[in-house]
Chain A
Amino acid sequence: MLDPRIAAAAGVMVIFQDFSLFPNLSVYENIAFATQLSAHKRLYDRDKARNIAREALDRIGVTIDLDVRVESLPVAHKQLVAICRALASEARLIIMDEPTTALTEKEVRRLLGIIRRLKEDGVAVIFVSHKLAEVLEVSEKVVVLRNGKKVAEGPASEFDTQSLAYHMTGREMPETPPSVVTAGARTLMRVDNLAKEGSFADISFELKAGEVLGITGLLGSGRTSLAKALFGLVAPDHGSIQIDGRDVATGDPIAASHAGIGYVPEDRLTEGLFLSQSIARNVAIGRLDHHSGRGGFLNASGMIAEAAGWLERLKVKAPDIDAAVQSLSGGNQQRVVLARWLSRAPRVLILNGPSVGVDVGSKADIHGIIRDLSREGIGIIVISDDLPELLATCHGILVMRDGRVTDEVTGGSVTEEELAHRLAS
């Protein structure tokens, strides 16, 4: 029977999406562990482990402190450690499962560079991803799977993002950019001079009814803290947020949600969902007060009926409404979070990374949902570093760097390359 040690001995290593590292051990030990394990040694040689690790890091040309614990590394470095671990055990085939999900644009560039370097070195790589541009950029050959079946195979040069998306979903999906905001739409949200020491400063903007506003920036640009501050999860040092001309207490998520702001967090697994609870409960928790009936008991049938309505509207694919949320795919989980907020009829919806970790089909659906909602007059803020996503959904895009808005772009007026350039320059 095939087990990890036999696979490793044959030169096959898998880099899992979560990297499968040991957070409590040092960088060098993580890199050298598999190698020493397959050598069938009983004794552990610290100096040798360090040498193995140093060689592997040299091979991909990066420097990481060998002695720090992996838990204190940023995500991109953890991934490099995982790659080095595979290299150290003489891997000849490395399988990478969605390696770029957690990386910023710049880190993705570096990873793709490393993959090219590995190719020249004679190491084969299977790059499992739903990020089509990256797949086309780095691969020689593409295999498309759908519902567990191989539906297409061929040299990468024979595909483009459109045809890949078609094979993956079985339908054509041209992304239509958003229609123009109705002239004379009311101002929904007004942010004045919002600032937080060390995170962001001088943030002012207006959001009109039916407008989709993108906020982008590299990791560390302050976009995530700003997103959280808008919903009161981070208390700003000064500045104000108004909804419909009325001040909303800052640093208070309950006040924000009462004022009609909804927030879909970036990491839905830890910040957005009760994973082991049912879909119905995950939706109903958004406004439990509404569901409480006589004597303070919850009206279960009302809860289920409402959740069912939303699931249908947002096209959630789920075995049934009592299924635990953790059994759903990423795209469907994201829809459940959306359903929860939509049931509260928000005025402003803040979506932090709305399509992180969801497949192409769901992503297009989520973009469709964003367009539908904006047509209904909800103001939407999309925070993302996925540039095609911003260009496909937003009327205007704020570019952040070092905590400040450095650029303001009207949707449709720039290409992806231009936007990427403004982001990094």
Chain B
Amino acid sequence: MNKWVPRNLLTRNETLVAGVIMLFCIAATLSDPLFFSITTLSDLLRASIVIGILAIGAMLVLVSGGIDVSFTAIAVFAMYSSTVFALAVWPDMPWPLIFLISIVIGALLGAINGLFIAFFGLPTLIVTLGTLSVFRGFLLTFIGSQRISALPSEMRDFSRGVIARGTTEAGSFYSFPWALAALVVVIVLTWFILHKTMLGRSIYAIGGSAESARRLGINVKGTQFFVYVYVGVLAGLAGIIHGSMGRMADPFSLVGLELSVIAAVVLGGARLIGGYGTLTGTLLGVALIVIVQNSLIVVGIPTTWQSVTIGLLILIGTGVPAYRTKRAAARSG
């Protein structure tokens, strides 16, 4: 068999999710021909950047056998405090430097998670539930709880940078921001780590069986620590992009989004028990969630039905493959 065509193509979560996305797009185009346009594409892509970067981090944690719910708090903490810092010391600070500061703050906060999880061996959900509250509370108490709309000038410049922009014949405006490049870089970097380094393979191995990994001599603690730091880095990046693109540093934003992000990852085929998860699946999951959140209204479903739809998608999207696996196991046993 061709090594580029996975043999289980038809039974994979990815295929299922891609099918649902296609069905949705067809339905949306039928009810509103304008849906099928470059404007919609640019809107959806724009909305996918932050969720996409966060989801890739969440996927990595799921693959390693853990779960992280604190990444939104890390993202908003890193974004807000780096903005405050830039405004205080150097309002004209170049945006790469602001981004770097946000990423470093994210990494440090991720390292706190990693410390508790890898070196004290505490359960990942408990630790990250705790740090979610602590990071958020610390931010609002000590750094600030005011929305800042007068961002450092370079951040505003960043959000104006576009790869391409234009107006369609129908007269609607579209643009592809440079922030998309950040998502692409994150995808490529994560792909490289997961598939081309022993570190990445170790993450899968630990998710498959931490005990086996230990017995084989894999550095389980170091690998786990890396995962949480990496998630922190991605959260720091996603946070500052979110702030720049929204042209506002809002300390109350993002938190609350974590479950939607995890839902996207799970829809893409990652399993909560660890060891399973792909970039393709994650991105498809993100696409589906973003489409549901932004375009459900086009097919005539009220926005209040959004969460019901997402919930049903999760139940069906993860239930069908799980049921099939169970049936297959029952047949062979």
Contact = CB atoms under 8 A, between A and B. Distances in A.
Nearest to B192: A43
Contacts of B276: 24
Interface string A17-28: 000111111000
Given A22-B209, A22-B275, A23-B275, A8 B204 contact: no
B208 A4 contact: no
Nearest to A29: B201
B199 interface: yes
B201 A43 contact: no
Interface residues of A, number: 24
A335 B217 CA distance: 37
A311 interface: no
Contact of B216 (A4, A44, A67): A4
A319 B215 CA distance: 30
Given A4-B215, A8-B217, A33-B205, A24 B198 contact: no
B196 A34 contact: no
Nearest to B194: A44
A368 B324 CA distance: 44
B122 to A, nearest CB: 20
A5 B214 CA distance: 10
A37 B212 contact: no
A25 B195 CA distance: 12
A16 B213 CA distance: 13
A43 B197 contact: yes
A316 B275 CA distance: 39
Contact of B217 (A16, A37, A41, A67): A37
B275 A20 contact: no
Given A29-B201, A43-B197, A20 B217 contact: no
Interface string B141-158: 000000000000000000
Interface residues of B, number: 24
Contacts of A44: 195-198, 200-201
A5 B202 CA distance: 15
B106 interface: no
A236 to B, nearest CB: 16
In this complex, the member of A8, A24, A38 whose beta carbon has the largest number of chain B beta carbons within 10 angstroms is: A24
A84 interface: no
A128 B215 CA distance: 18
A22 B274 CA distance: 11
B211 interface: yes
Contact of B215 (A20, A38, A41, A46): A20
A21 B196 contact: no
A37 B201 CA distance: 10
A352 interface: no
Contacts of A29: 201
A34 B274 CA distance: 20
A21 B212 CA distance: 6
B218 interface: yes
Given A16-B215, A38-B217, A43 B196 contact: yes
Interface string B268-280: 0000001110000
B207 A34 contact: no
Contacts of A46: 195
Contact of B208 (A5, A14, A24, A38): A24
Interface of A: 3-5, 8, 14, 16, 20-25, 29, 33-34, 36-38, 41-44, 46, 67
10 contacts: A3-B217, A4-B216, A14-B215, A20-B212, A22-B204, A22-B213, A38-B217, A42-B197, A42-B199, A44-B196
The 3 closest A-B pairs by CB, nearest first: A24-B275, A5-B217, A22-B208
Interface of B: 7, 195-201, 204-205, 207-209, 211-218, 274-276
